[in-house]
Amino acid sequence: MGGREATMVLLDENGIRCDGRKVDETRHVMIRAGGLKNADGSAYIEFGDNKIVAGVFGPRDVHPKHMSDTDTGILRVRYHMEPFSVGERKNPAPSRREIEISKVIKEALEPAVMLEMFPRTVVDVFIEVLQADGGTRCAALSAASVALADAGIPMRDMVAGCAAGKVADTVILDVNNEEDQAGQADMPMGYMPTLEKITLLQLDGILTPEEYEKCVEFGIKGCMQVYELQKKALSEKYFDGENGRGGSGRSQKR
Amino acid sequence: MDVRRRYVIPGDTITSGPYRPEQNVTLVGGKKIVSTVVGVSEIYDNTVKVIPLAGKYIPKINDLVVGKVIRHTSLSWELDINSCYVGFLPATDVFGRDFSAHADELATKLRTGDLVAARVANFDRTRDPLVTISDRDLGKIDSGDLVEIAPGRVPRLIGKRGTMIQTIETATNSVITIGQNGRVVVACDDAEGLLKAKKAIRMVNSMAHSTNLTEKVKEMLESGNGAPRETTTTTITTERREDDRE
């Protein structure tokens, strides 16, 4: 993409990646619960150079009415990238890619959210990508899950997202933009840590069965790290300080 | 031995002992009891529940709620009960069985914007909550100030066997109506008492899960701090209350 080095060494002889990480290391992740006053629940995530805000409304009345379901609540997800989130201006109209990501995030959250408790209602999740650097769908999924918990919507489990992939014939954890563009495979995953269930799994590239197994193992490992930060972000907002609103609600990991 | 009270987030395992799962928990694999919301888990006798710290009010049959009239048709009123569903108050509940849609005008009893103390008479998955005002102490609220708190903090405001609310009521000589939906109406003849009661309610809302809260509230009520500022605020409150009566 715009102005990146064409011949980049994705993995050197010491097993160090282009951004200085080891093969099984995630980028720096920071999650903050809350922050938006008008949304029922919200979260902000920094996943390496990705910066994403998620806002949640609901459960609330469904509009248009014909979308409502008498048996269960429904979940609507909008993933959107800001025009300034990438190198060259992105048309703000929803693209094919954004519609797809909205769909997969919705389907990754659905097994966790207990929508059947609120028939005839909707839970709206809005995700805005402020800055993108590869792996936005996993970061967006993680943020959306924290925002849902912040809104007090009953969930069977949190959903954490992290990608695994392959560059230079080596399986790596948390694929960044360069590795995504020039690498051999990218496999975003969503995972429910307590239920031990995978809710999102996509694969772009070619992996052998052994590599695939290793990717799943790496992906789950990354998701567990993100999960710890999700937990921390929520406890910082709700349980720190005497009034429960103390603390900055920030949690970081390097 | 399980921890009796602790902070949990969705997906946290509370216990795998032989307890009965109650509100805001779910059974995983027939054994583990897992929280579904951010809150404080409680193991009491043989039951497990989580008191939520966030989220909207979910109507329950027999809950006392404070609703605001949104609109009315010729047969019923719709109340905003601070939930994802609207409260449905049929006209027959107010006018009695001989209600006639032609003869009786609903606006004579309740107008849009009126506050109503109501009880949830019926609610299930198939329809909006049916509320009633035909009971003692229910009906239109004529006087008092509305304070909104998080629905999850209501049990804390009431306290164990009503200790917290009794403390506030006796100290400020006020009458407080608490709706389970997080709406609280404070009525007090003394402007200073009203102000103090409201302050105490807001204090409970913001400090809901600190220990010894009743003592802290008592202390605040008895101390009468911020006296010089209170005199100016008092006049404003008095004026507003007179406006309400008009």
The CATH number for B45's domain is 2.40.50.100
Regarding whether B150 and B127 lie in a shared domain, the answer is no
Q: What is the pLDDT averaged over residues A184-191? A: 96
User: Residue A44: which domain range?
Assistant: 29-236
The percentage of residues in chain A with a pLDDT greater than 90, rounded to a whole number, is 85
Is residue A8 in some structural domain? no
Min CA distance, B6 vs chain A (Å)? 10
Mutate to test the interface with A, among B56, B88, B181, B217 (most CBs of A within 10 A): B56
Q: Phi/psi zone of residue B159: left (φ > 0), alpha (ψ -120 to 50 degrees), beta?
A: left
DSSP per-residue string spanning chain A: -TT--SS--SB-TTSBBTTS-BTT----EEEEE---SSSSEEEEEEETTEEEEEEEEEEEE-SSGGG--SSS-EEEEEEEE-TTSSSSPPPSS--HHHHHHHHHHHHHHTTTB-GGGSTTEEEEEEEEEEE--S-HHHHHHHHHHHHHHHTT--BSS--EEEEEEEETTEEEES--HHHHHHSSEEEEEEEETTTTEEEEE--EE---HHHHHHHHHHHHHHHHHHHHHHHHHHHHHHTSSTTS--S--EEEE-
Q: How confident is the model at residue B238 (pLDDT cuts 50, 70, 90)?
A: very low
Supply the pLDDT for residue A222.
96
Residue A83 preceded by cis peptide, ω within 30: no
Mutate to test the interface with B, among A243, A245, A251 (most CBs of B within 10 A): A243
Residue B19 tokens read as: 């307890």
Least CB-CB distance to B11: which of A61, A157, A235? A157
Find the residue in A nearest to B11 (Cα).
A157
Regarding whether B217 and B155 lie in a shared domain, the answer is yes
Kind plus residue range of the DSSP H or E element containing B7: strand B5-8
Is residue A24 in some structural domain? no
Residue B243 has pLDDT above 50, yes or no: no
- Number of independent structural domains in chain A: 1
Supply the pLDDT for residue A6.
52
DSSP-assigned beta bridge partners for residue A162: A189
Residue A238 tokens read as: 């709700």
Which residues have CB under 8 Å from B170's CB, separation 6+?
Answer: none
Residue A57 has pLDDT above 50, yes or no: yes
Under 8 Å between Cβ of A152 and B52: yes
Q: How confident is the model at residue B143 (pLDDT cuts 50, 70, 90)?
A: confident
Domain at B173, CATH number: 3.30.1370.10
Regarding whether B195 and B176 lie in a shared domain, the answer is yes
Is residue B202 in some structural domain? yes
User: Residue B45: which domain range?
Assistant: 5-52
Is residue A93 in some structural domain? yes
Residue A111 preceded by cis peptide, ω within 30: no
Mutate to test the interface with A, among B7, B12, B27, B36 (most CBs of A within 10 A): B36
In chain A, what residues touch B206 (CB-CB under 8 Å)?
A: 243-245
**A156 part of contact set with chain B, CB < 8 Å:** yes
**A154 part of contact set with chain B, CB < 8 Å:** yes
Least CB-CB distance to A193: which of B11, B32, B125? B11
- Number of independent structural domains in chain B: 3
pLDDT tens for residues B59-105? 999 999 999 999 988 889 999 998 989 999 999 888 887 888 888 88
Regarding whether B234 and B149 lie in a shared domain, the answer is yes
CA distances from A37 to A33, A40, A41, A55, A151 (A): 12, 8, 8, 10, 11
**CB A150 to CB B38 under 8 A?**
yes
**CB B53 to CB A243 under 8 A?**
no
**A197 part of contact set with chain B, CB < 8 Å:** no
Report which DSSP code applies to B143. Answer: S
Regarding whether B161 and B127 lie in a shared domain, the answer is no
Whole-structure pTM value? 0.85
Measured torsion, CA atoms of residues A139, A141, A146, A148, in degrees rounded to the nearest 10: 150
Regarding whether B103 and B130 lie in a shared domain, the answer is yes
CA distances from B221 to B169, B173, B203, B214, B216 (A): 10, 11, 11, 10, 9
Q: How confident is the model at residue A108 (pLDDT cuts 50, 70, 90)?
A: very high
In chain A, what residues touch B12 (CB-CB under 8 Å)?
A: 194
Min CA distance, B185 vs chain A (Å)? 23
Supply the pLDDT for residue B2.
53
Is residue B57 in some structural domain? no
Regarding whether B181 and B149 lie in a shared domain, the answer is yes
Domain at A137, CATH number: 3.30.230.70
**CB B38 to CB A152 under 8 A?**
yes
Find the residue in A nearest to B83 (Cα).
A60
Is residue B190 in some structural domain? yes
Per-residue b or e along A115-152, where b marks 16 or more CB atoms closer than 10 Å to that residue's CB: beebbbbbbbbbbbbebbbbbbbbbbbbbbbbbbbbbb
Q: Tell me which of B114, B140, B166 is where a domain ends.
A: B140
